[in-house]
Amino acid sequence: MALAIEARDLRRTYRTRTGWLNPRRVAIDAVRGVDLDVRRGELFGLLGPNGAGKTTTIKMLNTLLIPTSGTARVCGFDVVSQTREVRKRIGYVFGGDRGLYDRLSGLDNLRYFAELYGVPAARQKRRIAELLELVGLAGRERDRVEGYSRGMRQRLHIARGLLHEPEVLFLDEPSIGVDPVAARELRSTVAGLAATGTTVLLTTHYMAEAEELCDRIAVIAGGEIQALGTADELKHYAQGRRVLEVQAFGVTDAQVKGIDLLPGVREASVEVLGTSQVLTVQSDAAVDVQADVLRALDGVRLGRVTARQPTLEDAYVTIVNGVDRTPATVTA
């Protein structure tokens, strides 16, 4: 089996010092022994909450960070000792507004990075035109980047990451802050890349995105891989459960804690959506908790109440909530 990415017991500790008079050293274990095999041509997802170690893992694999210990190889090359070989073969796209020369045009940004990535001069013009077409920026390439919307910047990031036709593409939360239409186009672009044989390692917060795109998904939390498999395999983590969703207005933390303690309830969490809240209660499949939950919400204005089967997101919540997240060590 040809592997595009292989990591063995990859660890990364950040060390910082705080205070002048009484300095304290803080060691944060961001990644604590990650083992990963990604096959060539695979679209692999890395899911996890904020601070789980996703970006740190990606940055160790793409040579921006040196691991504290462990080894990793990309396309067969070591990420610490053979950085130039690795860099020739990878592209990196991250989410957000930064990372571009704002006062230059999109075309100038692409020309510069094509030169940096060693795209032959004779091919640059055609390659840039192809990518502008692919990401939907053709016709806007001579505008300054500072006038681009967030979605356009994100698409320019993607075009830049693909300039040298990388064998492995790292996408670190590429759809963050992008509107739904642009996010859909982005997913279609990523799926197209995978179809042409590019290996993609994608980190995202969006379950639907991961479920739609990824061949396999790893859930990382507390700096360790907690679960790994296809989306259907991961859903088994929530097997034997049912989910109750209640639209509400004004649920308090105390009420959520109370619901969490009800007989048969496994997890209870609240998400704010605009002016309303969505209370999600996972319970044992054999226990109907709806009446108890509604009783606990007495006095709260309620909207829609729905019972459904567990999704990937429910499985993800189950996996992540079972993890102890205390990675920092403080020494005097």
Partner 1 sequence: MRVVRLVALGTLLHVKQFSRSQFEIATALIIPLVQATLAVYLFRAGTEPHRMLEAAIGAGMMAVWSSVLFGSGGAIQTQRWQGTLEMLMLSPRPPALLIFPITLATAVTGTYAMVATLLWGGLVYRIPLDIAHPLAFAVAVPAAILGLGMFGLLLASTFVLVPNANAVNNALEYPVWLVSGMLVPVTVLPGWTGPIGAALPTTWAARAVRESVTGAGPVWPSLGTCLAISAVCLVAGAAVMSYVERRARANATLALA
Quick check: 6 binds partner 1 (CB under 8 A)? no
Q: How far is the CB of 83 from partner 1 (least distance, A)?
A: 8
Distances from the Cα of 328 to the Cαs of 94, 204, 232, 277, 318, in angstroms? Answer: 26, 24, 34, 32, 23
Judged by CB, which is closer to partner 1: 50, or 326?
Answer: 50
112-132 burial, b for 16+ CB within 10 Å, e for fewer?
ebbeebebeeeeeeebbeebb
| By CB under 8 A, residue 206 contacts partner 1 | no
The neighbour count for residue 263, using CB atoms within 10 Å, is 9
User: Which tokens go with 227?
Assistant: 């679960």
Token code pair at residue 45: 């997802």
Q: Which of 3, 6, 39, 100 binds partner 1 (CB under 8 A)?
A: 100
Cα angle 101-128-190, degrees, rounded to a multiple of 5: 90
**Minimal distance, residue 120 CB to partner 1, in Å:** 9
Residue from the set 3, 39, 40, 101 that interacts with partner 1 by CB under 8 A: 101
Angle at which helix 106-116 crosses helix 150-162, to 10 degrees, equals 20
Distance between CA atoms of residues 75 and 5, nearest Å: 6
Q: With binding defined as CB under 8 A, does residue 271 bind partner 1?
A: no
Closest CA to 134 of 150, 110, 117, 113: 110
Segment interacting with partner 1 (CB under 8 A) among 62-70, 261-269, 291-299, 313-321: 62-70
Q: Counting contacts by CB under 8 A, is residue 160 touching partner 1? A: yes
In angstroms, give the least distance from the CB of 218 to partner 1: 22
Q: What is the gyration radius of the CA atoms in the chain, in angstroms?
A: 23
Please report how close the Cβ of residue 181 comes to partner 1 at its closest, in angstroms: 25
In terms of CB distance, is 98 or 299 closer to partner 1?
A: 98
63 near partner 1 (CB under 8 A): yes
Region from 79-87, 181-189, 287-295, 306-314 binding partner 1, contact rule CB under 8 A: 79-87
Q: Which residues pair with 8 in a beta bridge?
A: 71
Q: Please list every residue from 135 through 154 that binds partner 1, using CB under 8 A.
A: 144
CA–CA separation, 80 and 171 (whole Å): 20
Is residue 113 near partner 1 by the rule CB under 8 A? yes
Residues in contact with partner 1 by the rule CB under 8 A: 14, 62-66, 84-85, 87-88, 90, 92, 96, 98-104, 108, 111-113, 115-118, 121, 144, 160
